[in-house]
Amino acid sequence: MRKSGPPKGLISYLVLELLDERPRYGYELLGEITEISGGHWEPSYGSVYPILYKFEEEGVAERVERADEPDRKYFALTDAGREELAEKRREIGGEARDFGDVVLGFYHLYAALATDGRFEVDDADADWAFSERYSAWIVEQMIRHHERDFGEFERIDASPDEFYARADDADAPSESGGAPGEAETADDAEESEGASGAADD
């Protein structure tokens, strides 16, 4: 369970990845990150630019002059920046559960504002509402994006505690001494083949 917002270092990581692709300027980075979020989240101007200046000060990024845009501040990743990116990839890679908790936590709050009698929000004049209809739309979008990126959506019959326990078991070393997640059951193998087939389609 997280006790704060999105995992620390998320914006820094995204900035590093985007600069590794090609030089960019601040507003361009804001737009790219907003697009990656499906248009549902945009970091503030005051969060991205300090990161860029900090990266420049530390030698992680450097300014790039462009003759066609002399007044625009482009930044490119340095060799030190690529080392920083490799470290950030490991850091963010270990926070998948935190990301899941953020998504689930805010959805639970959304549903609570719609259904829990202790809350009496007045959304009559709002474009959106805390209601079953809008909750269903959110879930529908999640499923559509899942199917777009991962293939056919399959329900998982497990409570959070059960799912986390299964995930912990998958991460534990096998009895044969293999690497975590190396041993798999016949069901796991079938699921892997199905996922692979979906990815190839």
Q: Which of 4-8, 57-61, 138-142, 153-157 has the lowest mean pLDDT?
A: 4-8
Taking the C-alpha atoms of residue 25 and residue 76, their distance in angstroms, rounded to an integer, is 9
Identify the three-state secondary structure at position 93. helix
Task: Specify whether the CB–CB gap between 160 and 100 falls below 8 A.
Answer: no
Taking the C-alpha atoms of residue 138 and residue 142, their distance in angstroms, rounded to an integer, is 6
Taking the C-alpha atoms of residue 101 and residue 114, their distance in angstroms, rounded to an integer, is 20
Looking at residue 166, the DSSP 8-state letter turns out to be: H
Q: Where are the domains of the chain?
A: 10-93, 96-200
**DSSP annotation string for 6-71:** SPTTHHHHHHHHHHHHS-EEHHHHHHHHHHHTTTS----HHHHHHHHHHHHHHTSEEEE--TT-TT
Number of neighbouring beta carbons within 10 Å of residue 59: 12
pLDDT at 116: 96
Query: Residue 57 pLDDT > 90, yes or no?
Result: yes
pTM to 2 decimal places: 0.75
- Model confidence band, residue 66 (pLDDT cutoffs 50, 70, 90): confident
CATH code linked to domain 10-93: 1.10.10.10
